[in-house]
Amino acid sequence: MIQFKGALTHFANPLSHRDNAYSNDQKSVISVAKSREAIKSITSWPSYAPTNLHHLDDLAKDCGFGEIWYKDEATRFGLKSFKALGGAYAVARQLQDIIEAKTGAEPTITDILNGTYKDAISEIVVTCATDGNHGRSVAWGAQMFGCRCVIYIHRDVSEGRKQAMEAFGAEVIRIAGNYDESVRLADSEAKAKGRIIVSDTSYEGYMDVPKDVALGYTVMLSETVDQLGGDIPTHVFIQGGVGGLASAVTGYFWDLWGEKRPRIVVVEPEQANCLQKSAQAGHPVTVEGDLDTLMAGLACGEVSLLGWQILSNGADDFVTMSENMVAPVMQLLARGYKSDAKIEAGESAVAGLGAAILASQDREMTAKLGLNDQSRILVIGTEGATDPEMYERLVGQIWQN
């Protein structure tokens, strides 16, 4: 048996039931039908390739589960994160809409990549706030498609992540506040300066672009379905954050598999559990304070309204995972557990797997989550070493052991 020291807190969503119908309002955010355009576009981009779905057979056996599948986004477009799919796709869609409004004809991605509208696009400025990976995707997309980019980061974003965005030509502005304050500043300055906001979170008055961001993520989910070869997971342990990824996963699988869909377990840091608190309250709740967590991509205190539209009655369980699990799970993957693959996983990548491992050590938690030796668990390794210095600090020492 694996023995890690850590803690989970659990809340079962009373509004989630197997017979809940996936509503038309929810389908307007994420659906299999709506995903097809994004999949067609993104799979045509230069250097596109599906990422690996690893079978962690030895880890599953020692945790007492039937299967653990790990979708490895560390190789996605060289950006080392699933976020490469969402932000860049939303940039492309915004540019297509702007050019169509000016010319009367929607340009193809090929037109944009070939520089057909180079002069017009070079005058457009996209912007967002980020913990790192979304901003890197927006900056990469802006560079690839030829527009300008301004990114806002909060006080806790590492210098390494800042430099990674600057390497794609973005102007990066650091603020003294937290993530949610950077979102508000990006929004107000975009309105004042005529910039296009490409955010992965939604709020009152800003709903359309985050739908495109979430649709970009469906490329990863479509790949996963193909790689599963007809198997349907019993559980998905998925990272929380603002709820964008979790709602995309929940909605896509709900629309695809209906009553056969997996049980969705949303995992958050203890200090940034806005989704769990919202489920407990029955409405979106804001978590105040520093939101201090090693899992920087999940340091979010305000729920995406679009995400909540799906998660409010689609996610089954909301758990928090203690910080002391982050480094050990990163190290376990880096070493390769017994004969399982060696995997590069960043801090935010391990929340789902860490929660599943902790649950396997606690009979009460195993019962609450409906886990047993027949459970087939899917986790999404959302990032690799997107901050190499942090990765080396948390994982590098294992090579001396």
Mind telling me the catalytic residues? 83, 131
Q: How does 5-29 read in b/e, with b if 16+ C-beta sit within 10 Å?
A: ebebebbebeebeeeeebeeebbeb
Alpha-carbon distance values, 206 to 126, 211, 235, 383 (Å): 15, 10, 31, 27
Q: What is the DSSP string of 38-57?
A: HHHHHTTSTT--PPPEEE-H
* Residues forming a β-bridge with 378: 69, 236
**221 Cβ contact partners less than 8 Å away, ≥ 6 residues apart:** 35, 248, 249, 252, 253
* Residues forming a β-bridge with 235: 263, 377
Distance CA 202, CA 205 (A): 8
Backbone torsions φ then ψ of 388, nearest 5 degrees: -55, -35
Q: Classify the C-alpha dihedral 138-139-144-149 as positive or negative.
A: positive
3-state SS, residue 107: coil
- Greatest alpha-carbon span in the chain: 63
Which residue, chain included where needed, has tokens 């996610």?
A: 315
